[in-house]
Amino acid sequence: MDFTLKIWRQENQKAKGRFETYKIKDISPDCSFLEMLDILNESLVNKLSHPVCFDNDCREGICGMCGLYINGRPHGPDDAVTTCQLHMRKFTDGETITIEPWRAKPFPVIRDLVVDRTALDKMIQEGGYISVTSGGVPDGNAIPIPKHKADQAMDSASCIGCGACIAACKNASAMLFVGAKVTQLALLPQGKPEAAIRVQKMVAKMDELGFGNCTNTYACEAECPKEIKRSNISRMNLEFILAKIVSEETI
Amino acid sequence: MKLIKFASITKKIALAAFGLFLLLFLPVHLGINLCLLREDGGEWYRNASHFMGTNYIVKVFEIVLLASVLLHIIIAILLTIENFLARPIRYKVATKTKTPFMSRYMIWTGGVIACFLVIHFINFYFVKFDLVEGKYSADMEQVDKHFQEKAIKLQSGELSEKEQASLMAQYQAISQVSMDKMDKNRKNLVNLTKDEVKLYCGEDFKHYEPDFYNMSLELFANKTYSIIYLLVFVVLGFHLFHALGSLAQTLGLNHKKYTPIIDVVALAYAVIIPLGFAAIPLWLMFML
Q: Please say which residue of A110, A130, A164 terminates a domain.
A: A110
What is the strand order of the sheet A3-9 is part of?
Answer: A18-24, A3-9, A96-100, A69-70, A73-74
The answer to whether position A197 is within a domain reads yes
Q: Verify whether the Cβ–Cβ distance A237 to B2 is below 8 Å.
A: no
Paired strand residues for A111: A114
A152 and A70 belong to one structural domain: no
Does any CB of chain B come closer than 8 Å to the CB of residue A236?
Answer: yes
Strands (DSSP E) found in B99-177: 136-139
Residue A60 lies in domain:
3-110
Predicted confidence (pLDDT) at residue B269 exceeds the cutoff of 90: yes
| Interface contact A112, partner B, CB < 8 A | no
Asked whether residue A122 falls in the same domain as residue A241, the answer is: yes
Confidence of residue B288 (pLDDT cuts 50, 70, 90): low
Instruction: Enumerate the residues of chain B whose CB falls inside 8 A of the CB of residue A101.
Output: none
Q: What is the pLDDT of residue A137?
A: 85
Domain end, chosen from A69, A94, A110, is at A110
What pLDDT is stored for residue B128 in this prediction? 86
Total of domains in chain A? 2
Confirm or reject contact between A73 and chain B (CB < 8 A). Answer: yes
Q: What is the DSSP letter of B87?
A: -
Instruction: Tell me what pLDDT residue B156 has.
Output: 84
pLDDT computed for residue B149 by the predictor: 86
The CATH code of the domain that includes A149 is 1.10.1060.10
Nearest residue in B to A71, CA atom: B93
Residues A92 and A179 in one domain: no
Domain boundaries, chain B: 8-87+103-132+214-286, 136-210
Give A138 to chain B, closest Cα distance, Å. Answer: 33
**Interface contact flag, B99 A222, Cβ < 8 Å:** yes
Q: Which of residues 92-121 of B touch A (CB under 8 A)?
A: 92-100, 103-104, 106
CA-closest candidate to residue A210, choices A172, A183, A238: A172
What is the predicted pLDDT for the residue at A120? 98
Is a pLDDT exceeding 80 seen at residue B2?
no
**Number of cross-chain residue pairs from A and B with Cβ atoms under 8 Å apart:** 134
In this prediction, residue B171 carries a pLDDT of 84
Q: Which helix (H) or strand (E) holds B234?
A: helix B223-241
Judged by a CB distance cut-off of 8 A, whether residue B33 touches chain A is no
Q: What is the pLDDT of residues B91-129, one digit of tens each?
A: 999 999 999 988 999 999 999 999 999 999 999 999 888
Using the 3D structure, point to which of A76, A110, A144 is the last residue of a domain: A110
Predicted pLDDT of residue B151? 85
Can you give the pLDDT at residue B153? Answer: 85
Average of pLDDT values for B190-195?
A: 88
| Chain-chain contact of A203 with B93 (C-beta, under 8 angstroms) | no
For residue A55, the domain's CATH number is 3.10.20.30
* Residue B181 contacts residue B187 (beta carbons within 8 Å): no
CB A2 within 8 A of CB A88: no
A235 in the same domain as A141: yes
Interface touch A215/B83, C-beta < 8 Å: yes
Q: Which residues of A touch B2 (CB under 8 A)?
A: 207
Q: pLDDT tens digit string along A40-97?
A: 999 999 999 999 999 999 999 999 999 999 999 999 999 999 999 999 999 999 999 9
Q: How far is B82 from chain A (nearest CA, A)?
A: 7
Q: Say if the Cβ atoms of B94 and A72 lie within 8 Å.
A: yes
- Mean pLDDT across the stretch B72-86? 96
Same domain, A162 and A145: yes
Per-residue pLDDT at A189:
94
Query: Do A132 and A237 fall into the same domain?
Result: yes
Angle separating helix axes B106-120 and B56-85, nearest 10 degrees: 140
Helix ranges (H only) for A68-227 are 118-125, 147-157, 164-168, 175-187, 195-208, 219-223
User: A19 and A130, same structural domain?
Assistant: no
Q: How confident is the model at residue B250 (pLDDT cuts 50, 70, 90)?
A: very high
- Cβ of B7 and A72 within 8 Å? no
pLDDT at position B129 is: 86
Helix axes B212-221, B43-54, angle to 10 degrees: 120
- Does A95 contact chain B (CB < 8 Å)? no
Q: Is the CB of residue B135 less than 8 Å from the CB of residue B158?
A: no
Q: Could you report the per-residue pLDDT of B123-167, keeping only the tens digit for each?
A: 999 988 888 889 999 888 888 888 888 888 888 878 888 888 888
Q: What is the distance in angstroms between the Cα of A23 and the nearest Cα belonging to chain B?
A: 19
Residues A80 and A127 in one domain: no
Distance from CA of A218 to the nearest CA of B (A): 6
- Whether residue A79 is contained in a domain is answered as yes
Q: Please check whether residue A15 lies inside any domain of the structure.
A: yes
- Kindly indicate the confidence band of residue B66, based on its pLDDT and cuts at 50, 70 and 90: very high
Beta strands in chain A (DSSP E): 3-9, 18-24, 69-70, 73-74, 96-100, 109-111, 114-115
> Can you say whether residue A229 is alpha, beta or left, with left for phi > 0 and alpha for psi between -120 and 50 degrees?
beta
B257 inside 8 A of chain A by CB = no
Residue B209, H or E segment: strand B209-210
Taking the C-alpha atoms of residue A91 and residue A189, their distance in angstroms, rounded to an integer, is 46
Rounded distance between C-alpha atoms, residue A248 and residue A244, angstroms: 8
Identify the CA nearest to A239 among candidates B30, B251, B15: B251
| A168 reaches B (C-beta below 8 A) | yes
> Side chain identity at B7, as an amino acid letter?
A
Q: Do A155 and A45 belong to one domain?
A: no
Q: Among partner residues A217, A234, A235, which is closest to B104 by beta-carbon distance?
A: A217
A126 and A233 inside one domain = yes
CA distance A207 to chain B (A): 6
Q: Is residue A250 part of a domain?
A: no
- What pLDDT was estimated at residue A43? 97
Per-residue confidence (pLDDT) for residue B1, from 0 to 100: 58
In a domain, A251, yes or no: no
- HSE, CB side, 13 Å, CA atoms: give it for residue B226: 15
Rg of chain A's alpha carbons, rounded to an integer? Answer: 20
pLDDT of residue B182: 82
Report which of A107, A121, A24, A29 is spatially closest to residue A69, judged by C-alpha positions: A107
Task: Judge whether A82 is closer than 8 Å to chain B, CB to CB.
Answer: no
The partner residue sitting opposite B97, judged by closest CB among A168, A171, A240, is A168
- The ipTM is 0.93
Region of A226 (left: φ > 0; alpha: ψ -120 to 50; beta: rest) is alpha
Q: Which residues of chain A does B86 touch, with a Cβ-Cβ cutoff of 8 Å? A: 104-105, 171-173, 210-212
> Is A49 a domain residue?
yes
Task: Give per-residue pLDDT as tens, B207-239.
Answer: 888 999 999 999 999 999 999 999 999 999 999
Residue of chain A with shortest Cα separation from B88: A105
Query: What are the residue ranges in chain A where pLDDT is below 50?
Result: none
Q: Which residues of B touch A213 (CB under 8 A)?
A: 8, 11-12, 79, 82-83
Minimal CA separation from B121 to chain A, in Å: 28
Query: Chain A residues with CB inside 8 Å of B103's CB?
Result: 215-218
Closest-CA residue to A106 (of B77, B88, B94):
B88
Same domain, A144 and A241: yes
Determine, for residues B82 and A219 on separate chains, whether the beta-carbon distance falls below 8 Å.
Answer: no
Round the average pLDDT of chain B to a whole number and report it.
91
Cβ(A105)–Cβ(A172) under 8 Å? yes
